[in-house]
Amino acid sequence: MSESDGKVSAKDTEEVIMEATFRALSEHGYSELRMRDIGDEMELTRQVIHYHYDGKYDLLSSFLEYVIDQYEGSVEVKADADLRTELDARIDQCLFGPEFGEFTHWDRMKVYHELYAQAQNDDRHREIFNEHYERLRGSVVEVIEAGVEAGVFREVDAKQMGQLITDVIHAARGRRISLGHEDAPEQARRAIDDFVLDSLEVED
Amino acid sequence: MSESDGKVSAKDTEEVIMEATFRALSEHGYSELRMRDIGDEMELTRQVIHYHYDGKYDLLSSFLEYVIDQYEGSVEVKADADLRTELDARIDQCLFGPEFGEFTHWDRMKVYHELYAQAQNDDRHREIFNEHYERLRGSVVEVIEAGVEAGVFREVDAKQMGQLITDVIHAARGRRISLGHEDAPEQARRAIDDFVLDSLEVED
């Protein structure tokens, strides 16, 4: 578990740059962002950015991975929870997010959704998003499949249902951010319950 | 129905500018777009843009309204269709879009979704999107309410269901554009049928 001083320091520097990027993006938005805005948000000299990253594009790709890691790394579900509870927890996590560190779930999602819209023009970002999307949907599908297999959920196409739920989560977050619908995540939660999940459980 | 020559000409000029904006956005994306890129896409002198619009921002707001008008103006549902058919047609229209003019549904949606993600930083765009969203969701809710009233659909919270459907449509379009999931609209269509609409119809 011991790391050389040099390695620790490089890791710290990268984190400082990532946090500065977060602040700069929150303030200026993606389309207006300049490297100097990121430099203005940190105490280190701007040259360290150029040392670690091969331009704005490379920096933003690393930043996207950083945000996604933070988001995925924090899913917590009790091991002894029943499957519906586990499904609920995973959906809540995506909709309402974990809170930790300097930035809120919605600070992270704001940046995430802005980069998502840009991914059409960007193969590397698209790939990062696709892998993330796959994992998110997979984590919902997995629980539905387990429930069907255990006979507590009715027979459904788990992949199709997992996709539907992932789409609704994504759209609700986007509505809150882009249109200012503060209650979009709660609305989505109720709709998923009423129209999708409540029909899933097998009656005793 | 007669218009002065001057008026017709102004209208034509605006359309020329809007089409040039479309081409420039498709090529450069929102974040890279400069006024001169729009000028390069038309035969008229660049000065006419500055005559008609008060800068890039004003131009893009008018452009957004132009795209939305095109999209909404073309919904066609037969007057004698039953309510489920009408609901299907409205959903298909949003998912697969009308095809007309120089640009395809997906050319339009590409620009639409890019501006949507930017709306968080832009009150005027946000308002335009909110009004549009309201009309889209309203057009789905209206048919569900009519069906419930006529007794052909079961009693549901039509607003909640209309919201869910609108969210799924939006997310599927976004996935196709941002993540390159070509079959996202078809997947969404089947999921809406299987998990939402099929439970709506009252059995005889």
pLDDT tens for B108-136 read 888 888 889 888 888 999 999 999 999 99
From the list B29, B30, B191, the residue facing A164 with the nearest CB is B191
Q: What is the pLDDT of residue B125?
A: 92
The pLDDT value recorded for residue A28 is 83
ipTM: 0.85
Chain B (163-182) residues lying within 8 Å, Cβ to Cβ, of chain A: 163-164, 166-168, 170-172, 174-175, 177-180
Nearest chain B alpha carbon to A180: B120
A-chain residues near B199 (CB < 8 A): 195, 199
Of B129, B163, B172, which is closest to A191 when you measure between CB atoms?
A: B163
Q: What's the distance, CA B24 to chain centroid?
A: 19
Other residues' Cβ atoms within 10 Å of the Cβ of residue B31: 16
d(CA B125, CA A23): 24
Residues of B in contact with A200 (CB under 8 A): none
Residue A201 β-bridge partners: A153
The one-character DSSP state at B201 is B
Kindly identify which residue of chain B lies nearest to residue A179, measuring between CA atoms: B126
Which of B120, B130, B157, B186 is the best residue to mutate to test the A interface, defined by the most A CB atoms within 10 Å of its own CB?
B120
Contact: A120, B178; criterion CB under 8 Å: yes
User: Structural domains in chain B?
Assistant: 5-52 (1.10.10), 76-197 (1.10.357.10)
Question: Which parts of chain A are beta strand (E)?
Answer: none
What is the residue-averaged pLDDT of chain B?
Answer: 87
Cα–Cα distance, A142 to A56 (Å, whole number): 37
Is residue A202 within 8 angstroms of chain B, CB to CB? no
Nearest to A178 among B29, B120, B160 (CB): B120
Tell whether A130 lies on the interface with B, counting CB pairs under 8 A. Answer: yes
| pLDDT for residue A6 is more than 70 | no
Residue of B nearest to A172 (CA): B167
**pLDDT > 80? residue A31:** no
- Please write the tens of the pLDDT for every residue from A147-174: 999 999 999 999 999 999 999 999 999 9
B152 vs A182: CA distance, rounded Å: 34
| DSSP state at residue A197 | I
pLDDT at B162: 96
Surface of B (21-60) touching A: CB under 8 A: 29-31
pLDDT confidence bin for A84, thresholds 50/70/90? very high
Give the closest residue to A111 by CA, choosing from A31, A46, A15.
Answer: A31
Question: Measured between beta carbons, which residues in chain A are less than 8 angstroms from residue B190?
Answer: 160
* Residue range B76-102: mean pLDDT, rounded: 82
- Scanning every residue of chain A, which has its alpha carbon at the shortest distance from the alpha carbon of B164? A191
Residue B55 backbone class (left: φ over 0; alpha: ψ -120 to 50; beta: rest): left
Q: How big is the A-B interface in CB pairs under 8 Å?
A: 127
Q: Mark yes or no for CB contact A179/B126 under 8 Å.
A: yes
Q: Is the pLDDT of residue A4 over 50?
A: no
Q: Which residues make Cβ contacts (< 8 Å) with residue B46, sequence separation at least 6? A: B35, B36, B38, B39
Closest listed residue to residue A68, CA positions, set A150, A134, A159: A134
